């Protein structure tokens, strides 16, 4: 699917205040995705109309929480590499009651390729650096 940057720019002006209202009650988490980054993903996903969102790199659950709020009608699959990280209980607490979020743990470089389906949007917030880039490039051009 091709996303037109001009259309996204117009949509951004129209959708920013609604986005800000939806996430206003969510406090920023120091290890979390920036709201500007999430807004960009939101705009792209609105244009792509995904049927599910798969997130790699949950940490303390900031992006998962934002995703579950702005895409409340979509299933969110959140993958964290280390099930014993001290961030896990923080994320679990922040995401308690979010029925559209499924929490998974393990090596995202193995889980993500097996998990992602046609029509999914993917947020790679971990692994970082070239490992994340390689993972993203493996999925680009696949229609997934």
Helix (H, G, I), strand (E, B) or coil at 124: strand
CA angle 51, 56, 57 (to 5 degrees): 140
The average pLDDT across 79-95 equals 95
Closest by CA position to 69, among listed 42, 33, 34, 90: 42
Domain ranges, ordered by start, for the chain: 5-139
Q: What is the mean pLDDT of the chain?
A: 88
Q: For residue 66, what is the enclosing H or E element? A: helix 62-70
User: How high is the pLDDT of residue 144?
Assistant: 45
The average pLDDT across 81-96 equals 95
Contacts of 38 (CB under 8 A, 6+ apart): 23, 63, 66, 67, 70
Which architecture, in CATH terms, is 5-139? 3-Layer(aba) Sandwich (3.40)
Of residues 106 and 46, which shows the higher confidence score?
106
Does the structure show a pLDDT above 70 at 3? no
Give tens-digit pLDDT for 24-55. 999 998 888 999 999 989 988 888 899 999 99
CA distance linking residue 75 with residue 52, whole number of Å: 5
Q: How confident is the model at residue 69 (pLDDT cuts 50, 70, 90)?
A: very high
């Amino acid at each position: 699917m091709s996303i037109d940057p001009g259309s996204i720019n117009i949509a951004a002006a129209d959708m920013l205040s609604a986005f800000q209202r939806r996430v206003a009650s969510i406090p920023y988490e120091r290890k979390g995705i920036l709201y500007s980054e999430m807004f960009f993903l939101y705009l792209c996903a609105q244009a792509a109309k995904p049927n599910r969102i798969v997130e790699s790199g949950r940490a303390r659950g900031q992006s998962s929480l934002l995703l579950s709020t702005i895409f409340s009608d979509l299933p969110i699959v959140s993958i964290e590499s280390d099930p014993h990280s001290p961030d896990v209980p923080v994320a679990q607490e922040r995401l308690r009651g979010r029925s559209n979020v499924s929490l998974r743990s393990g090596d995202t470089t193995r889980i993500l390729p097996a998990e992602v389906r046609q029509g999914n949007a993917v947020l790679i917030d971990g692994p970082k650096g070239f490992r994340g880039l390689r993972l993203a490039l493996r999925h680009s051009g696949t229609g997934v």
